[in-house]
Every structure is written in C-alpha cells, then in structure tokens.
Amino acid sequence: MHAKHYHRCVVAGLIALLSIPVLATLLYSFSRHWGATILPDGLTLDWYLTLWQEPRFLTAFGHSLIIAVATLIFGTLIIVPAAFVVFYYFPKLDRWMGILILIQFAVPPVVSSVGLLQIYADGPLPLIGTPWVLIGCYFTIVLPFMYRALANGLQGLNVRDLMDAAHLLGASTSSAFLRVVLPNIRKGLMASLFLSFSFLLGEFVFANMLVGNRYETLNVYLYNMRMTSGHFTSAVVMSYFMFTLVVTWIATRLSR
C-alpha cells in the first residue's frame, strides 16, 4: 500500500515538474506586466487578440500546416507501400532498411542544409526559398518514424499467410493490401503520422536556412519576433502548444 502511494507521488511530482514551465509561459502570455513581483500585475487577452489578428502570423501558421500535411501525404504514399513490399516480398531487407533510415541522424541538419544550399541554390532545380525543398527535407525526417512504426505493426502480422488467404478468396494483391493488411496497421500509421506532424511543426533549422523569410513558417516567424514583447512570443508558443495538444487528443480519439 505504501509502495502504491509512493509511486503515485513520484508520478505526480514528475507531472508537476514538467508542468511548471508550461504554466509559467501560459501565465506570462496572459499577464499585462510581470517584473519584480511574484505574480503578474494584471491579466489580459490582448496578446492573443493581437496575435490571431496579425496576417503575418496567420500566413506563417498556414505555411507550416501546408508543408507538414503535404509531407505526410507524400510520405504515406511512398513509405506505406514500401514497407509492405519489404515485408511481403523481401523480408530479409528489413534489417538493411533499419540501417538506411538511420543514416540521416549521422548528418546534422546544419551540415545537410549547407550541402542542399550548394546543390539547389541555382541550376536546373532552383528549389531554395520554395516549400518544395522543405517537403523533400521533411520527408527524410519522417521516414524513420513512419517506417519503424509500420515495421513494428507488420512484424506482429503474418503478412504472407494473410495475403495467401486473401488470394485464395479471390482478392488481388492491391485489394488484399487495402482491405486486410492496411486496417491491421492503422493504429501504428496514425500514431506515426501525428507524431511526425507534431515534430514537423517544431522544425526550425531546415526552414530557417533553406527558406527563411521567403516562405516563412511558424518557427521562423517566432525567431523573427524574438526581439518583440516576451508576452507576445509567449502567446505564440502557447498557441502552438495548444494546437499540438488538440491534434494529439484527436489522434487518440481516432485511434480508439
């Protein structure tokens, strides 16, 4: 009984410790002035009203959503069939895929950005400053998350036996994949999509170095506004946090 209370206290303490920075940022975003006093001098919604009425913020937020959604659609169309092909036709390639998807972590984003700047700044494909270069870069970011989640789901299935049973019942390979295999890996796919979505919204290095103000995203906007009021930037951070929290909640509901 004492051990149970101890474990609850540890979990409650951990939650409280992680919540303090978020609650402090939230309170600061609602405060009028907060200087040498323990509590703010007053509360207001003016920072949020100013933020959500600013066209530049709404444009940057829309750019981030467009790039994130486009990347996830592109990644789903490429990675899901690729994972199925590996586990159904070439199962021995899974270990090599596990090595391949981790290569990107060996090269820091700053180094990758410098190389991409030299390749795509001019020439036949001048992609620097356009959202297309970000979609390509972000695809390499979501590849490990999506493939590993799908691989874990496919490893729990006997893909070959499921496909053989579907073929015996008259289904084609594509139909069997869509109606038998895909529903069984739906939870893993949904989890990887929303995890990748949250991660892409917070990506800064590629967006700042490859696109910058030419296609300003949410984090580039936050970086550019760092010299303004701290209350205003706190409102930006909390808006991003609450949006991510709502997306995570929706993902949890859909997965059920």
- Ranges of each domain in the chain: 74-255
pLDDT attached to residue 70 = 94
Residues 6 or more apart whose Cβ sits within 8 Å of residue 171? 179, 180
The pLDDT value recorded for residue 66 is 93
Closest CA to 199 of 160, 248, 151, 127: 248
Give whole-number Cα distances, 179 to 130, 165, 211, in Å. Answer: 37, 12, 40
Question: Please, which residues have CB within 8 angstroms of residue 19's CB and are 6 or more apart in sequence?
Answer: none
* Residue 256: predicted pLDDT: 60
What is the reported pLDDT for 63? 92
pLDDT tens, residue order, the chain (256 aa): 566 778 788 888 888 888 888 888 888 888 887 777 777 777 888 888 888 888 999 999 999 999 999 999 999 999 999 999 988 888 888 888 888 888 877 888 888 888 888 888 877 778 888 899 999 999 988 988 889 888 888 888 888 888 888 888 888 888 988 888 888 888 888 888 888 888 888 888 889 888 988 899 988 998 888 877 788 888 888 888 888 888 878 777 766 6
Check residue 254 and give its pLDDT.
64
CATH number of 74-255: 1.10.3720.10
Alpha carbon distance, N-terminus to C-terminus of the chain? 32
Q: What is the pLDDT of residue 154?
A: 87
Contact present, 84 and 177 (Cβ < 8 Å):
yes
Task: Determine whether 192 is exposed, middle or buried from the number of CB atoms within 10 Å of its CB (0-12, 13-18, 19+).
Answer: buried
The CA radius of gyration of the chain, in Å to the nearest whole number, is: 23
